[in-house]
């Protein structure tokens, strides 16, 4: 090529044509790739800046997928919470249905309030086939003896027999107190040394022997002395004290947690106190006040309550199953698995979602006690269920808050990725309209350069005419 000589004008036109072709090649590359910077040779600063922006966008895109999976994990837990809440509400409905069925235990047993502090005073327990009537039997020489009669409406009266100077005969002694008894509004009839006492309306009436003691004491109510350092210490010692005094007359007591459950199978019985003694009244109030029960067998079970108790236990099993099945990709937030959601590429920004125990045990739910034969056992279950509902609502609120946080950060990250990508594109992308116009101009310039080169070559072609 160096051996070929070109005129100055032809060489000038050739260089111009080569430069135009180079520009056309560059413009064609931009049109083909859509970028004005395709390598570091095009523009090192823009190329490496755009690459850095795109790399961060790629890193955030990977985290975006992780955030999406975190949202799904929280959603799985939330679905479990909603289902468990439905089961807990169903369990409460079952408990309430069982509560509506009268139990033999609560029909024929007296259950006290919880004993939260030692009791100091006396209570009185009476048990008979018919609490509305009793016989007072006097013997000879029952002089200067006292006894107290207690009516259901709280009326009570302490009566003293005649002194020995009046008479020592049992019938005379009984006749001496007959009017006092009748003055209380009670029916009282005398038969020898026996007075038959009964209420006019069938209400309860009882009596206790005085400290000096009638000799015939059959049918007298028992007095249970409660000492805060011993017999009145707690529900167990109170029950033991009642049994010591009352077993002989068919009264039985057992501690029921902090309560005392009192029964007297097939007998009517009542719990009351001397209302003229302040500390006795305080003890009775602490135990739940005066109560009475008709005759019956407290231990006789109610099959309907057994059925409801079984249904309740089955619901608890379902709660455990739902808590176990609320897993997503190996993470179960309802079985105390924790979830960490990363928000940025250096892991400095993240959210720790703490797992909870949403099983029946974790919610404080226990199986039905004693087949729900006692109202107190059902009430205990209902209180547990209500507490569980509160816990579930708190859990749902916490998971909902975490869900909102992750979703908001997911949206933010998505927007940041768009910003980074747009910034990189601003540095590298070509303006297609501009490049198209450039190509058209270059094509025109190329055509003109070819024409110019043709004109420049005409002078050399004139030499051919000399031959």
- Report residue 189: phi and psi, to 5°: -125, 145
Q: Which of 285, 243, 277 is nearest to 127 (CA)?
A: 243
pLDDT at 42 (0 to 100): 63
Q: What is the SS3 assignment for 5?
A: coil
Q: For residue 419, what are its two tokens?
A: 């910003």
From its phi and psi, is residue 338 left (phi > 0), alpha (psi between -120 and 50) or beta? beta
Residue 283 CA to residue 226 CA, distance in Å, equals: 9
pLDDT at 219 (0 to 100): 87
Contact 202, 189 (CB under 8 A): no
Write out the chain's pLDDT in tens, 467 residues.
556 656 666 666 667 666 776 666 666 666 566 666 665 656 676 666 766 776 777 777 877 888 889 999 999 999 999 999 999 999 999 999 999 998 888 889 999 999 999 999 999 999 999 999 999 999 999 999 999 999 999 999 999 999 988 999 999 999 999 999 999 999 999 999 999 999 999 999 999 999 888 887 788 999 999 999 999 999 999 999 999 998 888 999 999 889 999 999 999 999 999 999 999 999 999 999 999 999 999 988 999 999 999 999 999 999 999 999 999 999 999 999 999 998 888 878 889 999 999 999 999 999 999 899 988 899 999 999 999 999 999 999 999 999 999 999 888 878 887 887 777 666 655 556 665 776 677 667 667 666 666 666 666 666 556 55
At 199-256, the pLDDT tens digits run: 999 999 999 999 888 887 788 999 999 999 999 999 999 999 999 998 888 999 999 8
187 has which bridge partners?
198
Other CB atoms within a 10 A radius of the CB of residue 294 amount to: 11
Contact 74, 406 (CB under 8 A): yes
Range list of H helices, 100-213: 104-108, 170-182
pLDDT at 413 (0 to 100): 79
Where do you find CATH 1.20.1330.10 in the chain? 62-100+303-415
Contact 406, 49 (CB under 8 A): no
Contact 194, 216 (CB under 8 A): no
pLDDT at 143 (0 to 100): 94
pLDDT at 416 (0 to 100): 80
Q: Which of 315, 328, 427, 421 is nearest to 366 (CA)?
A: 315
Q: Which of 211, 155, 204 is nearest to 180 (CA)?
A: 155
The whole-model pTM stands at 0.68
pLDDT at 60 (0 to 100): 74
Residue 321 CA to residue 38 CA, distance in Å, equals: 58
Per this entry, what is the length of the chain? 467
CA atoms within 13 A on the CB side of 375: 17
For 103, 316, 320, 322, the CA distances from 94, given in Å and listed in that order, are 15, 12, 18, 19
The CATH classification number of 62-100+303-415 equals 1.20.1330.10
254 has which bridge partners?
261
* Pairing of β 259-263 and β 146-151: unpaired
The residues near 240 (Cβ < 8 Å, ≥ 6 apart) are 231, 253
For 36, 152, 405, the CA distances from 158, given in Å and listed in that order, are 116, 15, 76
- Report residue 171: phi and psi, to 5°: -65, -40
Contact 229, 83 (CB under 8 A): no
pLDDT at 66 (0 to 100): 85
Residue 430 CA to residue 425 CA, distance in Å, equals: 9
Range list of H helices, 100-169: 104-108
Contact 262, 110 (CB under 8 A): yes
Q: What is the SS3 assignment for 147?
A: strand
DSSP 25: H
Q: What is the SS3 assignment for 190?
A: strand
pLDDT at 293 (0 to 100): 94
At 65-83, the pLDDT tens digits run: 888 899 999 999 999 999 9
Measured between its terminal Cα atoms, the distance across the chain in Å is 26
Residue 250 CA to residue 243 CA, distance in Å, equals: 9
């Amino acid at each position: 090529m160096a051996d070929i000589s070109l005129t100055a004008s032809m060489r000038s036109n050739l260089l111009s044509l080569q430069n135009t072709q180079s520009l056309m090649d560059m413009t064609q590359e931009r049109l083909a790739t859509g970028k004005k910077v395709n390598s570091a040779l095009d523009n090192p600063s823009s190329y490496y800046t755009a690459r850095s922006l795109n790399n961060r966008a790629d890193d955030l895109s990977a985290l975006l997928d992780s955030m999406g999976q975190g949202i799904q994990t929280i959603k799985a837990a939330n679905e479990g919470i909603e289902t468990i809440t439905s089961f807990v509400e169903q369990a409460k409905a079952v408990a309430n249905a069982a509560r509506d069925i009268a139990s033999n235990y609560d029909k024929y047993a007296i259950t006290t309030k919880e004993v939260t502090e030692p009791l100091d005073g006396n209570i009185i327990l009476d048990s008979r086939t018919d609490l509305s009537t009793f016989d007072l039997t006097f013997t000879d020489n029952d002089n200067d003896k006292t006894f107290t009669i207690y009516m259901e409406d709280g009326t009570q009266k302490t009566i003293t027999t005649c002194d020995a100077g009046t008479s020592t005969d049992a019938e005379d002694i009984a006749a001496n107190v007959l009017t006092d008894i009748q003055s209380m509004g009670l029916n009282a009839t005398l038969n020898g040394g026996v007075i038959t006492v009964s209420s006019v309306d069938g209400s309860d009436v009882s009596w206790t022997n005085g400290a000096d003691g009638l000799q015939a004491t059959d049918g007298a109510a028992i007095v249970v002395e409660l000492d805060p350092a011993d017999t009145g210490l707690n529900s167990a010692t109170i029950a033991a004290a009642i049994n010591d005094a009352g077993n002989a007359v068919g009264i039985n007591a057992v501690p029921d947690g902090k309560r005392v459950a009192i029964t007297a199978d097939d007998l009517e019985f009542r719990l009351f106190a001397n209302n003229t003694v302040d500390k006795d009244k305080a003890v009775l109030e602490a135990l739940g006040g005066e109560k009475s029960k008709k005759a019956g067998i407290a231990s006789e079970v109610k099959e309907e309550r057994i059925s409801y108790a079984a249904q309740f236990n089955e619901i608890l099993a379902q709660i455990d199953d739902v808590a176990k099945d609320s897993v997503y990709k190996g993470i179960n937030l309802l079985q105390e698995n924790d979830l960490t959601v990363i928000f940025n590429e250096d892991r400095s920004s993240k959210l720790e979602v703490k797992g909870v125990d949403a099983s029946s045990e974790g919610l404080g739910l226990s199986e039905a006690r004693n087949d729900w034969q006692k109202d107190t056992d059902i009430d205990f279950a209902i209180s547990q269920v209500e507490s569980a509902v509160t816990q579930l609502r708190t859990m749902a609120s916490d998971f909902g808050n975490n869900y909102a946080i992750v979703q908001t950060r997911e949206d933010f990250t998505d927007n940041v990725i768009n910003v980074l990508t747009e910034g990189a594109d601003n540095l590298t992308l070509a303006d297609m309209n501009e490049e198209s116009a450039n190509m058209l101009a270059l094509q025109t310039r190329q055509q003109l350069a070819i024409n110019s080169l043709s004109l420049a070559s005409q002078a050399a072609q004139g030499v051919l005419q000399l031959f």
